[in-house]
């Protein structure tokens, strides 16, 4: 059974839907200051290994603005915290609106071998619309859709889930 290092029950449920038997494990792993998510995930996995964990996954979901040369990326939580969705939109409203929502899953197998599995959704940063319950969902409109993540119901959102894509990639890797 794979261990998913997370305290987020929604993410855990999503992982179970795709990978089957997954147990959640909540430990406090330090998040280092970096804009490359692989380095952040690697640091977390090294720490989890030190604590004796095997066969586990760590996840990072970040938002990359083309108009800010890839910022905020993994720093999105601080941007959102300090500026809110209005402030985030304001940063790029006169710039290139293209953005990527990206999930990277780091997997450390029983022998400690590490692999990374990505899911990327291309889209645009727009003025906040929809339900404001979940992070930056109100400002991200995936390409080919008229709605932001926050305006979509669970079913539609499920068709453009970068986290689901990354989990499917991992599943492929595990079954090969």
Backbone angles phi, psi at 23, to 5 degrees: -105, 145
Q: Is residue 19 a contact residue for a second copy (CB under 8 A)?
A: no
Dihedral sign computed on CA atoms, order 116, 150, 140, 154: positive
Q: Which of 74, 119, 128, 142 binds a second copy (CB under 8 A)?
A: 74
The stretch near a second copy (CB under 8 A) out of 30-38, 51-59, 116-124, 142-150 is 30-38
> 19 is written with which tokens?
């990978």
Q: Measured from the CB of residue 79, what is the shortest distance to a second copy in angstroms?
A: 7
**Residue 126, class by beta-carbon neighbours within 10 Å (0-12 exposed, 13-18 middle, 19+ buried)?**
middle
Q: Which of 27, 43, 114, 126 binds a second copy (CB under 8 A)?
A: 43
Buried b (16+ CB within 10 A) or exposed e, 56-68: bbbbbbbbbbbbb
Q: Measured from the CB of residue 44, what is the shortest distance to a second copy in angstroms?
A: 11
Chain residues that interact with a second copy, rule: CB under 8 A: 30-35, 40, 43, 68-71, 74-75, 78-79, 81-83, 87, 91
């Amino acid at each position: 059974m794979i261990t998913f290092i997370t305290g987020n029950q929604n993410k855990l449920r999503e992982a179970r839907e795709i990978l089957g038997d997954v147990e959640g494990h909540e430990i406090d792993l330090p998040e280092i200051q970096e804009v490359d998510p692989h380095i952040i995930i690697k640091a977390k996995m090294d720490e989890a290994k030190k604590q004796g964990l095997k066969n586990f996954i760590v996840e990072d979901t970040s938002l990359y603005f083309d108009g800010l040369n890839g910022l905020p990326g993994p720093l999105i939580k601080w941007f959102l915290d300090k500026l809110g969705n209005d402030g985030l939109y304001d940063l790029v409203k006169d710039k290139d609106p293209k953005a990527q929502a990206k999930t990277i899953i780091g997997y450390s197998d029983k022998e400690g071998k590490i692999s990374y599995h990505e899911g990327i959704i291309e889209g645009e940063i727009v003025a906040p619309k929809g339900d404001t319950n979940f992070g930056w969902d109100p400002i991200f409109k995936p390409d080919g859709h008229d709605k932001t993540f926050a305006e979509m119901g669970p079913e539609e959102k499920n068709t453009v889930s970068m986290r689901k894509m990354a989990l499917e990639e991992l599943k492929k890797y595990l079954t090969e």
